[in-house]
Amino acid sequence: MNAIAAPPPGARPAAVRPKSDEPIRVMVVDDSAFIRGILARWISEEPDLTLIASHPNGRRAVDDVIRSQPDVAILDIEMPEMDGLQALPLILEKRPGTAVIMASTLTRRGAEVSIRALTLGAADYVPKPDSTNGLLAAADFRHDLISKVRSLGAGVRRGKSFRTPAPATARQSPGTSAPTTARAAAIPAAAKPKVRLRPASMSAVRALAIGSSTGGPQALTRFFTDAGSALTTIPVFVTQHMPPTFTTILAEHIAKASGRPAAEGIDGEPVRPGHIYVAPGGKHMLVAKSNGTTVIKLSDAPPVNFCKPAVDPMFQSIADIYGSATLALVLTGMGSDGAKGATIIADGGGAVIAQDEASSVVWGMPGATAEVGACSEILPITEIGPRVVRRISGGRS
């Protein structure tokens, strides 16, 4: 038998990508032994997941990440010795391609740190229940966490990158696109047989509606950095799957990226051009007519597609008001929320652009929208901003 040569002293072991049919390898990092135990039990009860490491602080996780080779790391934010925000870049440096899910509390600080972590390379976040007793009873939290671990872990197995490309230092002029591969390559080969594109809408754009979920904050930041200066003549409506407080912070980040007024929608407020309205966590955001004026309407109706806020009801209400003058974007996210609403927009003569698979953290929502035939284009996130600028300035393609 041939001997296996040992790596040189100090050399970093090569990353080994497990086979696609092997269980997804999960690392849990939390200073609470109770929480580590609960998460370990949940993971062990899923046949396609396996717990390969459990650590009480970020330092131990960083020291172990090369040996344990996780596909997904669940990383607490508040920990002694080294917190999650400090550990995140070190984990990604040592084990590039790891999908890191930040676990935070439903506080303003938790939301701020979670969204900042997304800009530093975290793939997603999960808001933890307020107490350990709440954790035990939180079926929704367990479902959300396991779904994200499974979906992101599958992306790791396919070699998915979870970093959204940074905006170009020089803003492109309206009507130009970032240099990319040929447009045909924007539609993944595996999806091409299922995708039927519609002709581009000939109507001038009077409203922009955006839906997103997993990976959405990163994609939204990129889009609004690219297109924000052109969004002066139309209102923009955003539904991102997020809980309360998190949507407040997201709106602040969008305002900074776009240079436009951005805030959570308020029930009854008049819609104004040049303003960006973000659906508040725990409410559906719609638009409606009141005494001849278009206003924001918040709804406490049940979740749609297991989401609240949800994209579908927002898209439908915008289609009812703006008709063929609606331009909709369906960005990265798990599930299929937005596909039905996008179909209504497209059937009414509006235009729908979906983010492509290669640049999406998860090609669930945009993929579902593409497969139902609602899209006029499927583009990388780097091209969506310039394309929207062109559409608003009068271009049709």
Is 241 one of the catalytic residues?
yes
Which residue in 114, 203, 213, 360 is the catalytic one?
213
Range 312-325 burial, b when 16+ CB lie within 10 A, else e:
bbbbbbbbebbebb
Bridge partners (DSSP) of residue 27 are: 53, 73
Query: Scanning the structure block, which residue is given the tokens 């939180």?
Result: 138
Extract the tokens encoding 328: 């909709």
Which residue in 241, 253, 275, 284 is the catalytic one?
241
Is 337 one of the catalytic residues?
yes
Extract the tokens encoding 149: 């671990």
Q: Which residues are known to be catalytic?
A: 213, 241, 337
